[in-house]
Amino acid sequence: MASTTTAQTPAVRKLWGGRFTGKNDPLMEKFNASISFDSRFYKADIVGSQAYAKALALKKIITDDEASKLHEGLDKVLAEWESNSFVIQDGDEDIHTANERRLGEIIGTSISGKLHTGRSRNDQVATDFRIWVRDEGRKLVVVLKELIAAAVVRAENEIDVIMPGYTHLQRAQPIRWSHLILAHAWSWHADCQRLEQLLDRMNQLPLGSGALAGNPFQIDRDFLAKELGFDRLMPNSLYGVSDRDFVAEFLFWASLTMVHISRFSEDLIIYSTGEFGFVQLADAYSTGSSLMPQKKNPDSLELLRGKSGRVFGGMTGFMMAYKGTPSTYNKDLQEDKEPVFDAYDTLMGSLQITTGVLSTLTIRPERMLASMSIDMLATDLAEYLVRKGVPFRETHHISGEAVRLAEERKCTMADLSLADFKSLHPSFEEDVTKVWNFEQSIENRCTPGGTSRATVQAQIDSLKAFLQ
C-alpha cells in the first residue's frame, strides 16, 4: 500500500454535507473516517471510476472530452498514490472522498463533479472491495501453489524415507515421510481450490446499484462488468450494496487455511523436539534462548500456530457485526475491511514462511528408523492370518494376545518362536517371520491413497498435474 501524508485544508465540503448546517464533533469525524485503512483500495477505486466515466459518456450524460479529462486526471491521482506523494487532507473521510477531492484539484470541479452522477459510495465501495479481494486473492493462489510445489519436491526427493505413523500421538503403523508431507499438501490443495472457487463466485459487479434502488441513467452495467473484469452482475440492487458474504467466505477460507498451517507447524514442532529428533529447522527459521545457550526454538512454527487464532478472531468479530445489519448499506459494514486486510497480510506472510521452513528443514532418517518398533506391525500380524483364511475380528484378538505375550516375556514379537505363535492359533507357519519387515508393511498399503512407494508417487504426479 502506498504511504501518505496528511495535511490540513480549509473548509473541505463533504460529499453528503448539503443537508447539514452544524459541525461534527471532532471525535465523531475521526470515529467515522475510514481513510486510514480503506486507502488500500486506491487503485480499485480509480479503475472503477475510470470505467464509470466511460459508461457515463456512452449514455451521453457527459461528453467524450469530459470522459477523457476524467480518465487522464484519475491517472494522475493514481500516479501520486503509486509514488507515495498523495497527500491526505482533513475531510478525506474515505478513499472515495480523497480521490474525488484530488481529481477536482487537478481538472476542476466543474468536470470532476459529474463523475458521481447516479453513483453512490454504497455501490462504489462494494465494487472496490470485490476488485481488491479478487485481485489480491489471485496473489494468494500463487503463493499457496508455491507451498504445494515445495511439498511435492520434498516428497519426491525423500520418497524412500520411512517413519512411524501416529494416531493419538502413539506409534501406530509404518509410513513414508513423503506420505506425511503430502497429507499436508492435500490440505493446501483443498485450500487452493476453495479460494479459486470463492474468487469465481464473488466476481459479480455491484456498480450500477446506486445507493440501494438502482441507477436512474440507464448505465450499461454489462459494459461496466466487462471493463472491470467481472463475470456477472449483482442481480438485485439492494443485495448489491449490502452483500458481504464474500467477506465472510474469505475470512473463513483464511481461518481454515491457517488451521492447516497450524497443524503442519504442530507436527514439525513435535518432531523437532529432542524426544523425537526427526527434523531440524534451519537457523533462518529458529531462535535461541536468552538464558540457555543450548536451545534452538522453533519460533517460526510457534508464530504460525499462534497467528491462526488471530485470523479466526477477525472472522468471528466480523460475523458478529454482519449478523445484525438490516437490508441495504449500514455503517456497520465499515467494519468489514480491517479483518480482511489483516487476514490477507497474515496469510501472505504465513504461506511464505511455511514454504521457507518446509524447503530448508533437515530430516534425520536414522532417528525416524530408530523410533520404529516391532509392535507397530501388530496389524500386519493380524493381516497375515486373514490371508490364511481366519476372520479379521478373530485375528485382531490373536494379534493382541501376541503383543501381550511379548510384553510378558519382555521381548519383541519378532523374538517369539513359531511354537509360541502356534499356541495362539494353528494357522501360523514358518513364513510368519516375513511379517517383521517395515518396508514390506508399507508396500502392502498399495491401494490408491496408501503409503506404498507407487501410491505416494501417484499422489506426487497428481499434484504436479494440478500445479501445471
Catalytic residue list: 168, 289
Say whether 59 sits in a helix, a strand or coil: coil
Crossing angle of the two packed helices 221-228 and 42-58, in degrees rounded to 10: 140
CA 427 vs CA 287, 382, 412, 417: distances in Å:
56, 11, 20, 14
Q: Give the total residue count for the chain.
A: 468
Burial (CB < 10 A; 0-12, 13-18, 19+), residue 316, is exposed
- The helices-and-strands tally (H runs, E runs) of the chain is 19, 8
> In angstroms, how far is the first alpha carbon of the chain from the final one?
31
**Interstrand relation of 204-205 and 232-233 (parallel, antiparallel or unpaired):** parallel
Burial (CB < 10 A; 0-12, 13-18, 19+), residue 273, is exposed
Residue for grid cell 458481504: 244
Q: 125 near 217, Cβ under 8 Å?
A: no
Query: What are the contacts of 160-166 at 24+ separation with CB within 8 A?
Result: 160/453, 161/363, 161/365, 161/368, 162/365, 162/368, 162/369, 162/372, 162/438, 162/439, 162/442, 163/278, 163/365, 163/368, 163/369, 163/371, 163/372, 164/368, 164/371, 164/372, 164/373, 164/376, 165/451
- CB neighbours (10 Å) of residue 209? 29
Q: In sequence order, what are the beta bridge partners of 173? A: 165
How far is 207 from 127, CA to CA, in rounded Å? 6
Amino acid at 271: Y
Say whether 7 sits in a helix, a strand or coil: strand
The cell for 400 is 493382541
Amino acid at 260: H
Amino acid at 104: G
Say whether 279 sits in a helix, a strand or coil: strand
- Closest to 242 measured CA to CA, from 120, 92, 93: 120
How far is 35 from 81, CA to CA, in rounded Å? 13
Crossing angle of the two packed helices 177-201 and 245-271, in degrees rounded to 10: 170
